[in-house]
């Protein structure tokens, strides 16, 4: 209960004039490492709720290919989504790290295991959902693992892609190649 209260309280303060660049999250790679979103200013950011045992886990390979192909103008950040949609994630951060490293050779930043839905939702996803609603998206914004939030070079959310839109699809890459018809 205390955690829910603190999360809610933090959300009130964080979202009042906040931007994506205000967030720092614990990294999956090491206990003492953090991912500081302010480091990504000037690049597009693709934030994805991942899961090691999801029917969409094959997208990890595409996320890595996308990250490597567009590394100069895009950063991909994965958030292992705990058990948001059933038992689709490994139990520990170490197991998730090893799975991502040895199965998919992931080099993009990965956060520690978090929750993306419900009352225990991580504040960064509360922020992203609030921003998605400003784009007139209907609830629920996150319907499954591998929902993708694309932010522009100024940290503004520009698009949310559902799980069935793959990272290398033209729906995603058109935003990165500036070939999107606005």
Tell me the whole-structure pTM to 2 decimals: 0.89
Question: Is 19 part of a structural domain of the chain?
Answer: yes
Q: Given CA atoms 168, 111, 118, 43 in this order, what sign does their dihedral have? A: negative
Closest CA to 19 of 43, 44, 38: 38
Angle at 121 between CA 51 and CA 107, to 5 degrees: 40
Question: Is 96 part of a structural domain of the chain?
Answer: yes
Place of tokens 């890459």: 173
Q: What is the pLDDT of residues 68-86, one digit of tens each?
A: 999 999 999 999 997 899 9
Q: What is the pLDDT of residues 8-53, one digit of tens each?
A: 444 444 455 689 999 999 999 766 799 999 999 999 999 999 999 9
Domain count, the chain: 1
Question: Is 182 part of a structural domain of the chain?
Answer: no
Q: What is the pLDDT of residues 120-176, one digit of tens each?
A: 999 999 999 999 999 999 889 999 999 999 999 999 999 999 999 999 999 999 999
Which tokens hold the place of 4? 């829910």
Rounded Cα gap, residues 25 and 114, in angstroms: 10
Q: Residue 100: give the domain boundaries.
A: 2-176
- The CATH number linked to 70 is 3.40.30.10
Question: Is 181 part of a structural domain of the chain?
Answer: no
Q: What pLDDT is recorded for position 110? A: 97
Is residue 64 within 8 A of residue 106, CB to CB? The reply is yes
């Amino acid at each position: 209960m205390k955690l829910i209260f603190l999360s809610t309280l933090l959300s009130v303060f964080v979202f009042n004039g906040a931007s994506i660049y205000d967030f720092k999250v614990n990294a999956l790679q090491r206990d003492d490492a953090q991912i500081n979103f302010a480091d990504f200013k000037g690049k597009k950011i693709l934030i994805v709720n991942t899961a090691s045992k999801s029917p969409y886990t094959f997208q990890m390979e595409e996320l890595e290919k996308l990250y490597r192909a567009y590394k100069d103008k895009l950063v991909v950040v994965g958030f292992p989504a705990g058990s948001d949609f059933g038992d689709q994630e490994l139990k520990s951060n170490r197991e998730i790290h090893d799975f991502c490293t040895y199965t998919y050779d992931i080099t993009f930043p990965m956060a520690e295991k978090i929750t993306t839905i419900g009352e225990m939702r991580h504040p960064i996803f509360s922020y992203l959902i609030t921003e998605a609603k400003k784009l007139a998206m209907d609830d629920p914004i996150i319907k499954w693992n591998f929902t993708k939030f694309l932010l522009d070079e100024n940290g503004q959310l520009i698009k949310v892609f559902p799980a069935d839109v793959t990272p290398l699809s033209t729906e995603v890459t058109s935003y990165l190649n500036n070939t999107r018809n606005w």
